[in-house]
């Protein structure tokens, strides 16, 4: 078999807002069923970069190729089709406050599938239960705490079991126990469905625990990309300073959970989803 | 280090308002086109439409009725006061019905809808933009123009004419009460003048205006909310702009439609 084509390939991505250049020619490759974690200080361009992956932003120049298709070149209808395979967990939850938490999780199922209301109910409730927020199903997002809203947001992104899942700071604002539960879920989605995950996080424990690849962004440039071990060893002052400040040490790698091989999981993903469109 | 942009010459800065105006017209035109295109595409979400019809229409009934009643009453008093000077107070019924149907009902209804529903639309959409809910819709393969803007513009288009008709009828009732019971006009003559002076063209002009106003008020409100930026401050500004510009738009369009549909000179 020929070499596996990467799931996502970002080529020379430049983003300029007015007079301000936020991304200076970023190149990143994400293999199918891998978990890529972006780390970097605030304002480094991480959120802007991941927003490009699902075409919430259009690049000033450069390409974002997902499954061999440059998504920046798609029109609205083509993009809507492509987005059915993506999911995103937003930093500020982005729950619809006019609906109950249950309706929020059921929303993508109602919009994108022809499932019966009974099946929708089962799937949405199961996902809320996975995240331990089933008791909040009938409440609205305004009636629950930030941590719970985050979990409802994660449930909504996971309920469609997408091929590419983007998490924008999934563990920020969560207690350590729930944070590890979220890490487990990210890993579970990968193991069960071969999901490719892109995670932005400031939680370095989480980063080193779940990442196949870590990419470090500083001032709109990727200064290092590699496995956690490679990033720990990289010879770059900024990278080392960031890692030292986070308190993560090489010994952390030894306690990483055992991970399934991405190539085997990629086969699961390919079997699960029709290509193209 | 970020590159410092070169200073812009004075003439370029002087042209900024004109450029902003052209950009604004472009943004509105683009949103109108997208709204039209996405309105035709399935899925058609009737429950979302009904919710907006209820918000724009049903919830405005009391306000529009109240303003219509007092407008009709005030107009009757003022017209009688003016027309009495040359003994023409019997014309009041006709004049009030003409003014209400051609101008007052569509314009004041649109302003009421802009103030009540337009501000609500801009604030809601602005908040949805600020809290990434609009982005979330996009990531779930739901076109936000189709889901959010189309039902609101549709509700404006349908409900402003309906509310205008209500305004017209209640206003006429108010004028009747003041004229007949308050100022002792003859009810038969009052009604007869309405019959003889009010033509189908007057009602048509009112209808055309209220359709255009309903569309423009909702579109301008959605435009400011949908593209709001800058957090809570930005949402506040968007709401203010939505009301101000949709009201200004009503008067500009009013003149344009009047001059097209009214043969004078």
Q: What pLDDT, on a 0 to 100 scale, did the predictor assign at position A1?
A: 42
B138 and A96 within 8 Å at the Cβ level: the answer is no
Q: Look up residue A156 and give its two tokens.
A: 């909504």
Binning pLDDT at 50, 70 and 90, where does residue A241 land? confident
Distance CA B204, CA B161 (A): 11
Q: How many other CB atoms are there within 10 angstroms of residue B146's CB atom? A: 24
A94 and B133 within 8 Å at the Cβ level: the answer is yes
Q: How far is CA B198 from CA B33, B68, B90, B184, B221, in A?
A: 36, 18, 15, 22, 33
Binning pLDDT at 50, 70 and 90, where does residue B119 land? very high
Distance CA A43, CA A22 (A): 9
Nearest by Cα to A106 from A115, B42, B45: A115
Burial of residue B19 (number of CB atoms within 10 Å: 0-12, 13-18, 19+) = exposed
Interface test with B, best of A55, A90, A157, A168 (most B CBs within 10 A): A90
Please report the number of interchain residue pairs, chain A to chain B, with beta-carbon separation below 8 angstroms.
57
CA nearest to B48 within chain A: A98
Residue B26 covered by a domain: no
Distance (Å) from the alpha carbon of B225 to chain A's nearest alpha carbon:
16
Q: How far is CA B73 from CA A44, B66, B94, B172, in A?
A: 63, 11, 14, 8
Q: pLDDT of B91-104, one tens digit each?
A: 888 999 999 999 99
Q: Which of A80, A81, A90 sits opposite B132 (nearest CB)?
A: A90
A19 and B3 within 8 Å at the Cβ level: the answer is yes
Half-sphere exposure of B161 (CA within 13 A, CB side): 15
Distance CA B76, CA B179 (A): 6
Distance (Å) from the alpha carbon of A95 to chain B's nearest alpha carbon:
6
Q: What pLDDT, on a 0 to 100 scale, did the predictor assign at position B264?
A: 76
A80 and B2 within 8 Å at the Cβ level: the answer is no
Q: Which of B131, B139, B143 sits opposite A54 (nearest CB)?
A: B139
Q: What pLDDT, on a 0 to 100 scale, did the predictor assign at position B1?
A: 47
- Residues of chain A with Cβ-Cβ distance to B131 below 8 Å are 92-94, 97
Instruction: Report the share of chain A in percent with pLDDT over 70.
Output: 89
Residue B34 covered by a domain: no
Residue B232 covered by a domain: yes
Strands A164-168 and A196-200: parallel
The position carrying tokens 């009030």 is: B96
Q: ipTM of the assembly?
A: 0.83
Residue range(s) defining the domain that contains residue B191: 46-261
Domain positions in chain A are 8-85+162-271
B139 and A95 within 8 Å at the Cβ level: the answer is no
Q: How far is CA A150 from CA A72, A164, B135, B146, in A?
A: 29, 19, 16, 26
Nearest by Cα to B39 from B159, B161, B152: B152
- DSSP bridge pairs for A28: A10
Q: Look up residue A277 and give its two tokens.
A: 């469109």
A86 and B5 within 8 Å at the Cβ level: the answer is no
DSSP A50-64: HHHHTTSS--SEEEE
CA nearest to B131 within chain A: A94
Q: Which tops the pLDDT comparison, B130 or A245?
A: B130
Q: B133, B232 in Cβ contact below 8 A?
A: no
Residue B30 covered by a domain: no
A-contacting residues of B 121-140, CB under 8 Å? 128, 131-133, 135-136, 138-140
Q: What pLDDT, on a 0 to 100 scale, did the predictor assign at position A276?
A: 41
Please tell me whether residue B249 adopts helix, strand or coil conformation.
helix
Mean pLDDT over each residue of chain A, to the nearest integer: 85
Q: Where are the alpha helices (DSSP H) in chain A?
A: 46-53, 76-83, 101-112, 117-130, 146-158, 176-193, 204-210, 228-233, 237-246, 251-254, 262-272
In angstroms, the first-to-last Cα distance of chain A is 24
Q: A10, A29 in Cβ contact below 8 A?
A: yes
Average pLDDT over residues B53-66: 96
Q: Which residues does A262 contact at the CB level (< 8 Å), separation at least 6?
A: A31, A32, A33, A34, A212
Counted domains in chain B: 1
Residue B101 covered by a domain: yes
Q: Look up residue A24 and give its two tokens.
A: 């200076």
Strands A69-70 and A61-66: antiparallel
Average pLDDT over residues A218-222: 89
Q: pLDDT of A8-35, one tens digit each?
A: 999 999 999 988 899 998 999 999 889 9
Mean pLDDT over each residue of chain B, to the nearest integer: 92
Nearest by Cα to A70 from A12, A128, A110, A4: A12
According to CATH, the superfamily of the domain at A8-85+162-271 is P-loop containing nucleotide triphosphate hydrolases (3.40.50.300)
Q: Which of A21, A94, A95 sits opposite B2 (nearest CB)?
A: A21
- Residues of chain A with Cβ-Cβ distance to B135 below 8 Å are 51, 56, 88, 90, 94
Strands A196-200 and A35-39: parallel
User: What size, in residues, is chain A?
Assistant: 277
């Amino acid at each position: 078999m020929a070499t596996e084509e990467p799931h996502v390939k970002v080529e020379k991505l430049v983003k300029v807002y007015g007079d301000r250049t936020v991304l200076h020619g970023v190149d990143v490759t994400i293999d199918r069923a891998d978990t890529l974690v972006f780390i970097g200080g605030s304002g480094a361009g991480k959120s802007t970069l991941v927003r490009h992956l699902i075409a919430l932003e259009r690049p000033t120049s450069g390409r974002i190729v997902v499954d061999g298709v440059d998504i920046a070149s798609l029109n609205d209808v083509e993009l809507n089709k492509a987005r059915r395979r993506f999911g995103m967990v937003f930093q500020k939850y982005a729950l619809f406050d006019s609906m109950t938490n249950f309706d929020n999780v059921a929303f993508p199922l109602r919009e994108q599938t022809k499932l019966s209301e009974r099946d929708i109910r089962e799937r949405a409730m199961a996902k809320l239960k996975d995240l331990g927020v089933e008791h909040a199903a009938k409440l609205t997002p305004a009636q629950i705490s930030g941590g719970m809203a985050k979990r409802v947001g994660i449930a909504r992104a996971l309920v469609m079991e997408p091929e590419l899942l983007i998490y924008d700071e999934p563990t920020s604002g969560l207690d350590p126990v729930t944070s590890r539960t979220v890490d487990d879920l990210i890993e579970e989605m990968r193991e069960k469905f071969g999901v490719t995950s892109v995670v932005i996080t400031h939680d370095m424990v989480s980063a080193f625990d779940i990442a196949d690849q870590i990419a470090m962004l500083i001032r709109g440039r990727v200064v290092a990309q590699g496995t956690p071990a490679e990033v720990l060893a990289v010879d770059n002052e900024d990278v080392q300073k960031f890692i030292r400040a986070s308190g993560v040490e090489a010994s952390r790698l030894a306690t990483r959970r055992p991970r399934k091989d991405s190539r085997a999981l990629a086969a699961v993903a390919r079997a699960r989803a029709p290509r193209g469109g | 280090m970020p590159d410092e942009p070169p200073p812009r010459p004075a003439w370029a800065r002087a042209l900024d308002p004109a450029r902003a105006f052209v950009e604004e017209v472009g943004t509105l035109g683009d949103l109108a086109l997208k709204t039209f295109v996405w309105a035709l595409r399935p899925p058609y979400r009737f429950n979302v439409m009904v919710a907006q019809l209820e918000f724009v229409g049903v919830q405005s009934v009391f306000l529009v009725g109240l303003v219509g009643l007092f407008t009709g009453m005030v107009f009757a008093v003022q017209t009688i006061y003016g027309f009495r000077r040359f003994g023409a107070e019997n014309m009041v019924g006709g004049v009030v019905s003409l003014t209400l149907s051609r101008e007052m009902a569509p314009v004041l209804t649109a302003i009421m809808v802009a103030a009540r529903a337009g501000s609500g639309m801009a604030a809601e959409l602005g908040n949805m933009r600020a809290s990434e809910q609009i982005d979330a819709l996009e990531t779930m393969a739901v076109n936000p123009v189709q889901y959010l803007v189309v039902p609101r513009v549709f509700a404006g288009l349908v409900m402003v004419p309906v509310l205008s008709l209500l305004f017209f009828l209640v206003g006429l009732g108010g004028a009747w009460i003041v004229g007949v019971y308050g100022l002792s006009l003859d009810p038969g003559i009052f009604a007869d003048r309405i019959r003889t002076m009010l033509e189908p063209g007057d009602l048509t002009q009112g209808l055309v205006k209220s359709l255009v106003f309903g569309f423009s008020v909702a579109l301008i409100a959605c435009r400011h909310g949908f593209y709001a930026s800058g957090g809570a401050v930005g949402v506040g500004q968007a709401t203010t702009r939505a009301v101000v510009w949709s009201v200004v738009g009503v008067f500009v369009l009013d003149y344009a439609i009047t001059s097209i549909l009214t043969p004078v000179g």
